[in-house]
Amino acid sequence: MKKLALVAFSVSTLLLSNVSAKETLTDIHLVGISSTAANIDSKEIGIGYGVSLYLDNSIFWGVSFDFSGGKLDNSEIKIDNKSTNKNDNIYTAGADFKLGYALFDNKLALYGIGSGIYQSIGGIDGAGLGYGAGVDYRITNNIALNLEYKTYSMTSNYGDYDYDRVSSGIKYNFK
């Protein structure tokens, strides 16, 4: 996995090294998340930090780092036919790579997401890679709304499970 991340970083650096950025933004963001982990619904709230580049050719790309926490709808966790009653908390830390296209003078960005996360569900620790899609809409130069969907294939000490999430949030952009 480390080699794949290094190759992806190297290729994107080479491809983007000769392209000038029209606009570079850093942001802090707050998100509300509706998710399903191991077939259990949960609600999470998250905070994160991101960097976005809007290039002269309307290509949008960015990275973000997030942490979220919340409560499961019930506390019985079943992974690979193993059942355990655990604490009903869920915590997730992750990083996203975003690549897409900016429209309307960089007010709207549509993008695909490649993502990796580490997660703890009531003491069951897991890690996984995922993908998704998102949209950012800048209301002002400093305030943006976003909506994202991501799905992950997770591996844990209890077995494999799927994790799906829909998040909506607000960003404050720094120039």
Q: Which residue has the higher pLDDT, 129 or 75?
A: 129
Task: Give the tens place of pLDDT for each residue, 89-125.
Answer: 889 999 999 999 999 988 999 999 999 999 998 778 8
User: Which pTM does this prediction carry?
Assistant: 0.80
The residue behind tokens 């994160």 is 48
The residue behind tokens 């998040």 is 167
Residue 11 has pLDDT above 90, yes or no: no
Contact assessment for residue 167 and residue 33, using Cβ atoms and an 8 Å cutoff: yes
| CA 79 to mean position of chain CA atoms | 23
Domains and CATH numbers, the chain: 21-174 (2.40.160.20)
Q: Report the chain's mean pLDDT, rounded to a whole number.
A: 85
